[in-house]
Chains A and B, each alone.
Chain A
Amino acid sequence: MTLSELGKFSEPGLFILVSLANGPKHGYAMMEDIESLTGVKPGPGTLYGALARLEERGLIEALPSEERRRPYRLTPAGLVALREQLSSLELFVNAGLQRLASQ
């Protein structure tokens, strides 16, 4: 599946997948991590909207809870989706850079 199926949650969905790529995290840790990666802190509603959709599609899964916080991790399908998404972004970025270089 492609993340574009998530509609307006595709970008926060990608941020979540990237954030979980180096290990499981709970909601607040993801927010902080995404802010450090992108410079923008996702809103709590947006974060959980994307989280719910990713979980529904089997791209992430919940781990046993720690107190009231529940960590999430990438599933094998999530890993594949993240690789595909990043590869297609890489192609896009390279094409853009090549066009700029030819200016």
Chain B
Amino acid sequence: MKLKKPGRKIKILWLYPRAWRERYEIEFVALLEQCPLSWLDLFDIVGSAFDERIRSLALKEKFQMPNSLTSSNNPILRQGLLFGVIFGVFMLVYNLVKNLVNLNDTGEFIVNTAVEMTALLLLGLVGMRVAWQTGRISQGALAGLVAGFTGAIIGTITLFIITFFSIARVRQNTFMLQDFARSGMTDMNQFIYEDAAGGSIFLFVFALILGAALGAIGGLIGKARTQSVSSQS
């Protein structure tokens, strides 16, 4: 039962997986054309598209069980998790150094720059590799998102473990003492935990936005590379 293609394309629908679009796009566009869209509806569509992406990944996983996560058939998860774990290990080292070593301004600058550069490199590289394997930029962006999310999870867990077990050391950290003095708070332990929570939220936002953006940029490079290789062969 083939339907007529709609005259007006709703661009936001590219966020949905291809299989979903093939099944529901025409009637969904017809629905969107019938009702005026509010900002809330747009958020609803974006959130729902994200759900469908996750569901489509989960379904692929379900049908590829024998090959497991290490399967080359699923480069998004395999590469995303691999690069995410590497990113997470860097975050672990970063958290250890930042909290337990008394750095001067130069040391602080070097450590911050190193972790930022590492994040840029890893998240861009994973997008490039996945897009190179699959020929699709969106797959690169998703791999960047998975890597960013995995790295942020590891970073957050390690930050709280370090804070919890070494709070006496963290209390001696020069930058922490300066920040605490500026905060006007009276309980330093509470300040340290709130600082860790704030840092974790920032890390998640930073890693997810950067993961998707750099994954897509890397994906562009990777796709161009695939096309140039296939045109040469």
Please count how many residues in chain A sit with their CB below 8 Å of the partner chain's CB atoms: 20
Q: Does B209 contact A (CB under 8 A)?
A: no
**In the A-B complex, the 10 residue pairs with the closest CB atoms:** A45-B48, A43-B44, A68-B30, A45-B45, A27-B31, A45-B44, A70-B27, A49-B48, A28-B34, A69-B30
Residue among A44, A64, A68 making CB contact with B45, cutoff 8 Å: A44
The answer to whether A52 and B24 touch across the interface, beta carbons within 8 angstroms, is yes
B1-57: which residues lie under 8 A (CB-CB) from chain A? 1, 3-4, 6, 20, 23-24, 26-32, 34-35, 37, 40-41, 43-49, 51-52
The answer to whether A68 and B49 touch across the interface, beta carbons within 8 angstroms, is no
C-alpha spacing A46/B47, complex, angstroms = 9
Residue among A26, A27, A44 making CB contact with B41, cutoff 8 Å: A44
Interface centre among A28, A65, A68 (most CB of B within 10 A): A68
> On chain B, which size bracket covers the interface?
20 to 34
The answer to whether B48 and A46 touch across the interface, beta carbons within 8 angstroms, is yes
The answer to whether A49 and B51 touch across the interface, beta carbons within 8 angstroms, is yes
Residue among A43, A49, A68 making CB contact with B6, cutoff 8 Å: A68
Interface CB pairs A-B, < 8 A, 28 = A26-B27, A26-B31, A27-B28, A27-B30, A28-B30, A28-B35, A31-B35, A43-B41, A43-B45, A44-B28, A44-B32, A44-B35, A44-B37, A44-B41, A45-B41, A45-B49, A48-B48, A51-B24, A52-B20, A65-B3, A65-B27, A67-B4, A68-B4, A68-B6, A68-B26, A68-B27, A70-B3, A70-B27
